[in-house]
Amino acid sequence: MVVRTHDADYIEFVEARQGVLRRIAYAVCRDDARAEDVLQETLVKLYLAWPRVNGTGREEAYARRIIVNADLDQRRRPWHKRRSAVPVELLDTPARGGADTEDRLELLAELRRLPPMQRRTVVLRHWLGFSVEDTARELSISEGTVKSHSSRGLATLRARMGEQVGTG
């Protein structure tokens, strides 16, 4: 019988989910360098909490929560500067719904222009496919606030891009 250590489980989880977590961090932060910083902070905090989180089935949800909180913490820091760059990881991801690269780049650029909470809500609800309830829990806001931010964010994207943006 092979007994797995917490470290082995953690390493396996990170190897399997790091790309997804990086894309989530980028979508939340809208900046490749900050997303890398947030991801590294997330992985450290996740490692420290791993004995408590491992085996619950909520490991990825816990990591997403850390990403959102780390982004909020970084934004509160006085030296926060906004930078924008499109990360390679997002460019080589297959387009959803047959969108071509130009449309995807335009959507990412417009998504970056949304206010932070609208962007987070739109990413969680419409990119990652979370329910209203899960999004509210993930962002620690009410379900009504999720609906409001999502609606405003999608309306802004539609106005800026025409009707190319779906309702998800």
Domain over 1-81 is classified CATH 1.20.5: no
User: What CATH number should be reported for the domain whose range is 100-162?
Assistant: 1.10.10.10
Q: What is the DSSP letter of 1?
A: -
Record the pTM.
Answer: 0.51
Q: Do domains 1-81 and 100-162 have the same CATH topology?
A: no
- What is residue 17's predicted lDDT score, i.e. its pLDDT? 92
What's the CA gap between 84 and 79, in Å, rounded?
16
Averaged in consecutive runs of 10 residues, what is the pLDDT profile of the chain (168 residues)? Answer: 69 92 89 88 89 89 91 69 43 49 76 87 84 87 91 88 57
Instruction: Locate the domains of the chain by residue range.
Output: 1-81, 100-162
* pLDDT, position 145: 92
